[in-house]
Amino acid sequence: SATLDLPGLDVRPEEIGGGAVRFDLSFDLTERFTADGSPDGLDGVLDYSADLFDEATARRINERLLRVLHAVADDPDRSLGAIDVLGPQERRRVLEEWNDTAGELPSATVVELFAAQAARTPDACALLAEDRAEGGLTELTYAELNGRANRLAHRLIAAGAGPERFVALALPRSTGLVVAMLAVLKTGAGYLPLDPDYPADRIAHMLDDARPVLVLTGDEAVPGTASAPRLVLGPDGAVTADGTGEAAEEAAARWPATDPADTDRLSPLTPDHPAYVIYTSGSTGRPKGVVVPHAALLNFLTAMGGRLTLTAADRMLAVTTVAFDIHALEIHAPLLAGAGVVLAARSTVRDTGALGALVERTGATLMQATPTLWQALVTDRPERLRGLRMLVGGEALPPALAARMRGTGRDVTNLYGPTETTVWSTAGTVTDRPGAPTIGRPVLNTRVYVLDGALRPVAPGVVGELYIAGA
């Protein structure tokens, strides 16, 4: 390095750094000159707070700055917006490595996979539902659930249900709800789940918009459904009133318990046909229908099945209204894996004591809920949640709640995804890392990108907007 000669003073180079920094992160740049005084570039020092940054992060920031400076020096006329801060390795990491989620899907549809599972384990418990007035549980085996769904499916096909059509479900949380949901899928139609507690004008708007061929209701009429053709189902899923005056037992006996095939349907079922439509509030507050095809539902269920690895010993407690797409995991995922679904009544979901008791009573092994419900449960009934696998999504998970859940359950999975991308798009195990829990990584055949305002990937740790792609 150049020496400086000052008369009467002893001058020597001194290394800068090692002490306290005044700012979280700062650059100190000075011009460098040759011996004859000509400009010869810049020298720089990066200071960073070791409480906030590690050395590797600081080096990456340094490399990005150098990359920008070199780009400007090489082409001074280039616009700043055209300069890429990411190096080739970082670009490959955020675009390819972190999105390496490609995987094979079963060649069968969701209804074919359920029928195959019913054939493999006909006597296993498929459903426990709180639909008895005295508080008892109705239990159905896989054979019983599949048989009831098949009979109803054939009845619905005769009434005009089929691919590219919808059937609305305005049913209480009972055995009949799960039977009807499966039956509609078996016809090739998509189901439109309605919450009977919704305002009548909201339900009427959804029916007018989706134009289902039928509305399936319980014995109690649901406000807002009067204008649509309907079938009345009992709590067991059997048709109790269809306008013909035929006795329910005789009507049920006329329809076969065999799995409907494409030859029975109005037209063949393909992966692109709608499986269900969910109405969200929309950005204006006006309900907006999101149609989810069979292929997307199958991809989601395959992704969750691979992550959760459910077995016949598992029972999943279903607590979410079917008007939210979260129900797709609660109902369908266990039934494709040979596990059991525990369908909690609406009154039970609203009572943390009753819900905790249902966990113990049924031997539930996992449950999915919003942070709001988990907060109530871990506050009021933590002793009844010991060993439960906890899935949480729908809202941001506060760090304090995440810590309490980790200390209570067997494991905690944080999930994220908008309805438009089929329930959940990312999943991550909640650990003891400081700060807010992450939303994890993209699920099977799904990609997520954090982009800037010009739709370019930002460097890791840089704020941007989340974009979701894939199946």
pLDDT band at 399 (very low <50, low <70, confident <90, very high): very high
pLDDT number for residue 63: 87
Q: Are 415 and 391 in contact (CB under 8 A)?
A: yes
Residue 377 CA to residue 372 CA, distance in Å, equals: 9
pLDDT number for residue 17: 59
pLDDT surpasses 80 at 345: yes
What is the DSSP code string of 130-164?
Answer: ---TTS--EEEEHHHHHHHHHHHHHHHHHTT--TT
Q: At what angle do helices 175-187 and 142-158 cross, to 10 degrees?
A: 60
pLDDT surpasses 70 at 249: no
pLDDT number for residue 238: 84
Q: Are 172 and 262 in contact (CB under 8 A)?
A: no
Pairing status of strand 190-193 against strand 214-217 = unpaired
pLDDT number for residue 116: 97
How far is CA 344 from each of CA 102, 383, 391, rounded to the nearest angstrom? Answer: 35, 19, 16
pLDDT surpasses 70 at 90: yes
Average pLDDT over every residue of 209-228: 89
Residue 228 CA to residue 243 CA, distance in Å, equals: 13
How far is CA 186 from each of CA 66, 163, 211, 257, 418, rounded to the nearest angstrom? Answer: 60, 10, 19, 12, 26
pLDDT number for residue 346: 92
Lowest mean pLDDT among 80-89, 182-191, 259-268: 80-89
pLDDT surpasses 60 at 112: yes
pLDDT tens per residue, range 45-82: 888 998 888 898 888 888 888 888 888 889 999 888 88
Domains of the chain are: 25-65 (no CATH), 110-346+353-358 (3.40.50.12780)
pLDDT number for residue 134: 57
Instruction: Share the mean pLDDT of the chain.
Output: 90
pLDDT number for residue 286: 80
Average pLDDT over every residue of 440-446: 97
